[in-house]
A = this chain, B = another copy of it.
């Protein structure tokens, strides 16, 4: 059988630096665990725009459609702020999500014990926190038509459309229920059904899917504003949260920040199974391209490394290998190894991006 294939799109800013550390782990997997991957690399975001005038070429997209999993670094940077909306780095990312139909975005919000004091929240509120936000990623206001800025009389009007079909809601609901079964068996669905009809449909369809196939999972519903509140108040009340593209964007970022482990958090974006049974998939850190520290060897590669661990688990059914990587990360943190972003107000001496990668390798 052919080796599993990976496409690495390191992207912009700190993307290439953190991805370099992931490549070390991939090589280690081949050499030491007998799990070789076929790796190809390509450009996305600003880097692709610089080379080709577009944040994602058709050729790169075609490759992404063929491989078993895409590993993405980060996109964007101030240099590209002046570009037209249609060729901004973000469009490359959004096109990948849409064309690969990666409808289920898994965003764990997890608090690493060694970092609990980094949270702006009190230790007891976040210590041990481990929730999973499942964000719908291919529809909603991100992609709905009509959209644009139009002239109406003598003024401009900005329009976007929130749009969800029954089947779009049902499939992401299913993925949340499936995930909950492998966790603590609880799903909370969030929308604004008190204000938006698309939220009413969301709530109805989630309820129907639950009734039909997942009655063993505990389901609750919450308005998204109350959800934002409850995440800030007592996040441990949740297990799996399922919500739409836009609410998921805000809520998962808030949840990530609450953990105090922002530079640590990975994500997986999954689609339908391919012919080989593996889901279409892309893995990326939750943090952005951090242009302010790019190129300085300061970035924390852990979120990107943990994204690869998610790939092992969700694309290649190598849960044990994923746990191996995750445990190595925890060990390194427990040993006090810190990149600059992980130093508290007390200070200390930070190590570089590549030294962090090496420390994790050593712990493996």
- Determine, out of A10-18, A142-150, A179-187, A312-320, the stretch whose residues face the partner at the interface: A142-150
B167 x A155 contact (CB < 8 A): yes
Decide yes or no whether A82 CB sits under 8 A from chain B. Answer: no
A interface with B by C-beta (< 8 Å): 76, 85, 88, 90, 94, 120-122, 125, 141-142, 144, 147-149, 152, 155-167, 192, 194-202, 205, 224-226, 228-234, 246-247, 249-251, 253-254, 256-258, 262
Bound: A258/B167 CA distance, A: 36
B125→A156 contact, CB < 8 A: no
What residues of chain B lie closer than 8 Å to A167, measured between beta carbons? 155
Nearest-neighbor residue (CB-CB) of A252 within chain B: B225
How far is it, in angstroms, between the C-alpha of A194 and the C-alpha of B224 when the chains are bound?
22
A-B contact pairs, 19 of them (CB 8 A): A94-B195, A120-B232, A120-B233, A149-B200, A155-B167, A156-B201, A156-B205, A158-B199, A158-B200, A159-B197, A160-B198, A224-B249, A228-B228, A228-B253, A229-B254, A229-B256, A231-B254, A232-B232, A254-B254
Instruction: Flag if B200 contacts A225 (CB, 8 Å).
Output: no
Q: Are B165 and A141 in touch, CB under 8 angstroms?
A: no
Q: Is the CB of A197 within 8 A of B166?
A: no
Could you say which of A76, A144, A194, A224 has the most chain B C-beta atoms within 10 Å of its C-beta? A194
* Whole-angstrom distance between the Cβ of A166 and the nearest chain B Cβ: 4
- Chain B, Cβ-Cβ closest to A247: B250
- Interface pair A197/B148, CB less than 8 Å apart: yes
Q: What's the Cα separation between A247 and B250 when bound, in Å?
A: 9
Given known contacts A225-B253, A232-B120, is B160 in contact with A165 (CB within 8 Å)? no
Would you call B158 and A192 a contact (CB within 8 A)? no
Q: How far is the CB of A233 from chain B (nearest CB, A)?
A: 5
- In the bound complex, do residue A233 and residue B257 qualify as a contact, i.e. CB atoms below 8 Å apart? yes
Do B159 and A161 touch (CB < 8 A)?
A: yes
CA distance A97 to B209 in the complex (A): 36
Kindly state the separation between the CA atoms of A200 and B90 in the bound complex, as whole angstroms: 14
- Seed contacts A90-B195, A120-B234, A155-B165; 8 additional CB < 8 Å A-B pairs: A90-B194, A120-B122, A120-B125, A141-B195, A147-B196, A157-B163, A157-B164, A158-B202
Q: Is the CB of B196 within 8 A of A141?
A: yes
User: Inside 8 A of A200's CB, which chain B residues have their CB?
Assistant: 85, 149, 158
Q: Which residues of B contact A202 (CB under 8 A)?
A: 158
Bound Cα distance A228, B121 (Å): 14
Contact A152 B125 (CB under 8 A): no
Per CB-CB distance, the 5 closest pairs between chain A and chain B, nearest first, are A158-B201, A158-B198, A229-B257, A228-B254, A155-B166
Residues of B within 8 A of A249 (CB): 192, 224-225
Contacts of A157 in B (CB 8 A): 163-166, 201
Closest to A202 in B: B158
Chain B residues near A85: list those with CB within 8 A: 197, 200
A94 to B232, CA, bound (A): 26
A123 to chain B: closest residue by CB: B122
**A232's contact among B122, B141, B230, B254, by CB below 8 Å, is which?**
B254
B residues less than 8 Å from A228 (CB atoms) = 228, 250-251, 253-254, 257
> Smallest CB–CB gap between A56 and chain B, Å?
15
* Residues on the B chain within 8 Å of A142, using CB: 195-196
A265 and B201 alpha carbons, distance in the complex (Å): 32
Inside 8 A of A164's CB, which chain B residues have their CB?
A: 157-158
Q: How far is the CA of A326 from the CA of B315 in the complex (A)?
A: 58
